[in-house]
Structure 1
Amino acid sequence: MSHGRNNIRAIFHVQAPDKGRRLDVFLSAQDPQRSRSQYKKWIESGRVLVNGQRVKCAYVLQKGDEVCVQVVDEAVSTEIIPEPMPLEVLFEDEDMIVVNKPAGLVVHPGAGHATGTLVHGLLAHCSRLASQGAPLRPGIVHRLDQETSGVVVVAKSDAAYLNLIDQFKGHAVRKTYLAFVYGTLPQCSGEIRTLIGRHPTNRKKMAVVDRLGKEAVTFWQVRQSWQDAISLLEVRIVTGRTHQIRVHCQDMGHPVVGDGTYGGGPRRARQIPNPAVQAAVTLHAPRTMLHAWRMALAHPRHGTPMAFEAPVPADFRGLWTALQEAVASPS
């Protein structure tokens, strides 16, 4: 990836799972902050080349295609200046680094977040990150939402980047989360399998859709419940769609606690009939209560199975303790 004064150049190498997809659909999936119509304009104006040639929006991708995007982005600084910050490193070698991202930290630069992201901190910590990736996302092979805490793996070499991307897209990475949700689930475990796509009226949101979405598969099991009001779930996602767990929990009628975007905000908290439980949630759920707890994958160089675990954060422990005390006290 290279940068001019206001130009951002990103290169994508098409892997087997994306063979047969339209170019504009592929690009909008790589960069959810930009719309498909925006990419259509760039393709039509020649800012997107496939194997060095101009193509149409409906171009069907083949495995091995090189897609180069040259855009002008005035909303975000095109220079990433390393910023030292405390990082909880779970693993690091010459190919990748795995960190426990705290809630509140944005993974990579974007509109409204030109500084202070995890990428800025990683560039100060590491001698290098992989050069490949979407604009301003060196080495980023997956991401967590700003309010979600937990395991993030980042590629340090280009070879590792391509391998990890292939593992994520091939659903070879095992990802397990913890989530506090509203209500009591009707059974102790279950599976959700839907299509997820852009919300029909709000481009910043995702939604379960009937068509033109991507398959999203989520497995869940209940670890504990409190007063028919709150449940703690262990969630494993096979796919990695944008906002997948949050959307699936809302679709089940059990939104993630603290998630105002998908039905788990203060209004839902006020519906809890037990005043002690309601107070526990109001005081101890400062953000979307979702934690990327564990991740297992193959090392990108030698294929050795590896597993990483991010300790449960203090706010999760605080809410758990408050709920325990709330149900133990008289209503």
Structure 2
Amino acid sequence: MMEEEKDDIFEDGISEDAALDGENNGLYEHLSLTVEKGQEPLRIDKYLMLFRQNATRNKISQSCRAGNVVVNGKAVKQNYRVKPGDEISVLLARPPRENVIIPQDIPINIVYEDDDLLVVDKEAGIVVHPGHGNWEGTLVNALAFHFQKEGVKTDLDRIGLVHRIDKDTSGLLVVAKNEYALSYLAKQFFDHTTRRLYWAFVWGNIDSDEGTIEGNIGRHQKNRMQMAVYEDGSHGKHAVTHYRVLERFRYMTWVECRLETGRTHQIRAHFRHIGHTLFNDERYEGNIILRGINLPRYRQFVQNVFEVLPRHALHAHTLGFVHPVTRKEMYFESPMPQDMQEAVERWRKYLAAN
């Protein structure tokens, strides 16, 4: 998925940074600014509206309640009065897009739902959010239909996606139903306090049973559809991926990944960088068969596995977060999808016979 264009709503001198999830662009922006000299005392909700053309006082107040408006390192309420020299840091939702979301009756697997949020176990092949030629048939279209059918009323301008995963990545996503839940959950993703583990199949036999991959991730200089790793820090943003081997298949390895940071295509780019591209990841040339040594009918076997698993082998296995209202820890696990499970079983049988 190509990186989204940032909304041009910031005044000169204000910096912003996207809060990204493990595989895709995030939906929230970190706004930082310093109150100028001569500024008279003014409620912070009114003050921030001077810099956010698409934000309402209600949205800013919701962010204050969620602890997402920080002044000089401390969360403040909406009635805080700014003064010259105050360092303000804010996490707010991006303004709504003009495109109308069309509700569509598309089956989705909702594993949990209450008045504030729901958790979806997404199938591979479904785009999460409309855009770039995929305006229909997305998870957002399906959620719009679900909300309409169930009579769910929200105070959101659009579907409350807190994070995203790629079209061909399967697994767990949390969706907010109101502005407060949206802000509260977004803060957890921004601070990387959520509990998320991914399962991936990567080419080759990784040397260590566990390890860490570090290196800035940014847009590839030649292939703009790919992300690349820049160890010297010349481009991109700092990224750290921790992994643990779960099972070895001689020419493919099943790994569990924990992201210390969240960058676009982080797992895909990091593992390609160390020479272990995701299995059947066409965008990163993971659909090129790794040569087998002295294994009969090896190439045909791998091609058959590609047909069983016709997408990059990546699954968002776990998701944990603190509920925005009850403050209880929520934790969910998604079992390995059928296509990845079939691939595992075929590798086991093949290597046992060879």
TM-score where L is the length of structure 2: 0.71
How far is the alpha carbon of 1:138 from its aligned partner? 2.4
Q: 1:67 to 1:319 in 2, by over 3 A?
A: closer
Question: Which of 227, 234, 239 is 1:206 aligned to?
Answer: 227
Displacement after TM superposition at 1:238 (Å): 2.1
Shift in Å, 1:208: 0.9
Q: Is the 8 A contact 1:196 1:206 kept in 2?
A: yes
1:291 and 2:315 aligned:
yes
Are the equivalent residues in 2 in contact too, given 1:109–1:119 (CA < 8 A)? yes
Structure with the bigger RCO (C-alpha within 8 Å, sep 6+) is 2
**1:128–1:199: structure 2 CA closer, same or farther, 3 Å change rule?**
farther
Aligned residue for 2:156?
131
Residue identity (%): 35
Aligned partner of residue 324 in structure 1, secondary structure: helix
Matches within 5 A, 1:256-271: 256-265=278-287, 267=288, 269=289, 271=291
Are 2:86 and 1:64 aligned?
no
SS of equivalent to 2:89: coil
> Which of 264, 272, 276 is matched with 2:292 structurally?
272
Instruction: Give me the whole-angstrom Cα distance separating, in 2, the residues matched to 1:130 and 1:216.
Output: 34
Contact 1:178 1:290 in 2 (8 A): yes
Q: Is the 8 A contact 2:93 2:183 kept in 1?
A: no
Are residues 91 and 112 of structure 1, via their aligned partners in 2, closer, same or farther at CA, if it must alter by over 3 Å?
same
* 2:156 partner amino acid: S
Distance 1:223 1:26, change over 3 A: closer
Displacement of 1:115 after TM fit? 0.3
How far has the Cα of 1:237 moved from its partner? 1.2
Alignment partner of 2:136: what SS?
Answer: coil
3-state secondary structure, aligned to 1:204: coil
The reply to whether residue 251 of structure 1 matches residue 273 of structure 2 is yes
Aligned counterpart for 2:130 among listed residues 97, 109, 124:
109
Task: Give the superposition deviation at 1:193.
Answer: 2.1
Asked if the contact 1:181/1:256 (under 8 Å) is kept, the reply is yes
The C-alpha deviation readout for 1:56-113, integer Å capped at 9, x for no partner, is xxxxx942386875877xxxxx111111121111111111110110000000100110
Distance in 1 between the 2:174 and 2:19 partners? 22
RMSD across aligned C-alpha pairs, in angstroms? 3.1
Report the Cα distance in structure 1 between the residues aligned to 2:176 and 2:319, rounded to whole angstroms: 15
- Structure 2 vs 1, CA of residues 184 and 138 (structure 1 numbering), >3 Å: closer, same or farther? same
* Counterparts of 2:190 and 2:297, CA distance in 1: 44
Q: Distance in 2 between matches of 1:107 and 1:316?
A: 20
Amino acid aligned to 2:173 = V
SS of 1:64's equivalent in the other structure is strand
1:122 aligns with 2:143: yes
- Seen in structure 2, the aligned counterparts of structure 1 residues 86 and 113 have a Cα distance that, compared at 3 Å, is same
Over 3 Å counting, the alpha-carbon distance change for 1:71 and 1:224 in structure 2 is: closer
Kindly indicate whether the alpha-carbon contact (under 8 Å) linking 2:143 and 2:159 is maintained by their aligned counterparts in 1. no
CA 275–245 in structure 1, closer or farther in 2 if over 3 Å, else same: farther
- Equivalent position of 1:191 in the other structure: 212
After superposition, the C-alpha distances for 1:99-146 in whole angstroms (9 at most, x for unaligned) are 1100000001001101000001111112245625xxxx6211110100
Which of residues 218, 237, 257 is equivalent to 1:235? 257
CA contact (8 A) 2:9 2:53 kept: no
Superposition misfits of 4+ residues, deviation over 6 angstroms: 10-13, 65-68
Task: Give the conservation status (yes or no) of the 8 Å contact 1:129–1:139.
Answer: no
Q: Are 1:325 and 2:325 an aligned pair?
A: no
32 and 238 in structure 1: CA distance in 2 versus 1, 3 angstrom threshold: closer
Unaligned runs of 5+ in 1: 1-9, 14-19, 34-48, 54-60, 73-77
Query: Partner of 1:50: helix, strand, or coil?
Result: coil
Partner of 1:40: none
Q: TM-score of the superposition, structure 1-length normalised?
A: 0.76
Q: Is the 8 A contact 1:192 1:218 kept in 2?
A: yes
CA distance in 1, matches of 2:175, 2:298: 38
Shift of 1:26: 4.6
* TM-superposed deviation, 1:300: 1.6
- For these two proteins, the number of residue pairs brought into alignment is 280
The verdict on how the C-alpha distance between 1:81 and 1:100 changes in structure 2, with shifts beyond 3 A counting, is: same
Amino acid at match of 1:105: I
CA-CA distance at 1:152 after TM superposition: 0.9
Cα distance change on mapping 1:243 and 1:222 into 2, 3 Å: same
Q: Structure 1: how far apart are the matches of 2:299 and 2:351?
A: 11
Structure index of larger Rg:
2
State the AA in 1 paired with 2:276: H
Structure 1 residue 28 displacement after superposition: 11
CA distance in 2, matches of 1:28, 1:303: 23
> 2-side partners of 1:175 and 1:271: how far apart?
33
Residue 316 of structure 1 corresponds to which residue in structure 2?
A: 340
